[in-house]
């Protein structure tokens, strides 16, 4: 990582990793982010490019979606849908990994479902929908998985206001 001074501001530049470089060389727009605490490559992509990039990554060997989830950057800020991908191959001692992040508008957080590429996305996308309200377009059964169907709001959003009570129905 190098730094550039620009009008008295210091900006960090992130070195593109192997996967980000491969995507760029093959015409897929992406933005390399700083590696995570384990040194795993992070890539930011736009929602409209998720399916073509996910398909390309699958063809490139990332055949296992280890984890899909979401998080909230803060009240009024973006929501993020993330994907932890692994190349499962002959050398299981050190599989290649990459993390993909898609930043979404808080008011209409929509992104295509990757269920049709990695079936393991099924319940993971449903959980992210249930907790953050991210709509996974094209998901075959996008409905609440943890909260009751009539629950109002998205409990893990940082601007969520918890109700004073929740009436247990059919408890007995």
Confidence at 114, pLDDT banded by 50, 70, 90: very high
Domain spans of the chain?
A: 2-137
Beta sheet of 31-33, edge-to-edge order: 31-33, 41-45, 96-104, 79-87, 64-72
Distance CA 86, CA 65 (A): 7
Query: Domain 2-137 is in which class?
Result: alpha beta
What per-residue confidence (pLDDT) applies to 7?
57
Average pLDDT, the chain: 90
Confidence at 97, pLDDT banded by 50, 70, 90: very high
Confidence at 1, pLDDT banded by 50, 70, 90: very low
């Amino acid at each position: 990582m190098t730094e550039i001074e620009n009008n008295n501001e210091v900006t960090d530049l992130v070195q593109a990793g192997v996967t980000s470089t491969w995507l760029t060389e093959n015409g897929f727009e992406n933005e390399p982010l700083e590696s995570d605490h384990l040194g795993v490559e992070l890539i930011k992509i736009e929602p409209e490019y998720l399916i073509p990039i996910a398909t390309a990554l699958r063809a490139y060997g990332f055949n296992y979606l280890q984890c899909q989830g979401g998080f909230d950057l803060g009240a009024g800020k973006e929501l993020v849908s993330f994907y932890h991908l692994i190349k499962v191959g002959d050398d299981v001692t050190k599989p290649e990994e990459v993390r993909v992040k898609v930043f979404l508008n808080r008011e209409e957080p929509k992104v295509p479902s990757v269920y049709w590429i990695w079936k393991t996305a099924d319940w993971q996308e449903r959980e992210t929908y249930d907790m953050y309200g991210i709509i996974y377009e094209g998901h075959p059964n996008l409905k609440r998985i943890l909260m009751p169907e009539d629950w109002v709001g998205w409990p893990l959003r940082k601007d969520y206001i918890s109700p004073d009570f929740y009436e247990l129905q059919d408890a007995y």
